[in-house]
Structure 1
């Protein structure tokens, strides 16, 4: 197998754990209900304690770690050693761009879910006016982040494999200067 098996294993494990945490965040989204105070003057939202914020934050961080490991190990594709021309290099370039695109989408979904999940305040209003809107995380926000995290995992792993394959099998020729006595 081309490349470091340890780096590939770290990328896979970290991204799969991020996927699992994002699924857990989707399952434990907060819920809210309207309540009134003892004198029936104010209505407010009461949120059920949730673990979605912590799970989403951990998924966000682990997905970032997985992408950083791949970028450091491959020297971010453009700053490393020369790659062998051919299919592996072209495939690595396409997978590099695709993995970063899906990574940005996954991070955006997880961050949006985090912001909404962490926003648990009491909204108060007079009972005769419109009741407050108890906003919660939309269904599927963390789920979309989880789906894109899994796609990122597959693309990043494939990218690192193709990059390693193109790098390992290419030996740069040494520059030679003719050293003859008649130069």
Structure 2
């Protein structure tokens, strides 16, 4: 995880939820198996012939991560999802190490000049990713019942709702936390 030491409580919460929601259990294995089956069937269409692979990210892998965090699968033909994947690919091949550092640690943008940091590209990527996460969180919120979490995002919402202290690390919205986790998980699987 890319969080600093001042948010140990968030890390503990993530690990607690990973046990509760079986991030390594049979339901997760089933989801991954389904996504890999879809990936292999798309590869089979090439009949063993060589073909160009653009980018390092694919829809089944990213969808499996979304499912772990949001408890939902995204349609493989969703245009917003395709656009998000293309942006991930862009981030994965950044030739400028300074720009990549700014992607991994956005506070650097305060000190690095925009022409070196690629600030506009970074901001556009984060807006696309954040809006996709928010879109699915909004759908998830419709059926949310307090203290009956269906997935990590629901459990996080319950934790935020029960937090009364302004000093708590859980005194924020869940979309930025989910997006940070999603981005970190995707980056480590790429």
**TM-score of the superposition, structure 1-length normalised?**
0.29
Report the structure, 1 or 2, having the larger helix content: 2
Relative contact order, higher structure (CA 8 A, sep 6+): 1
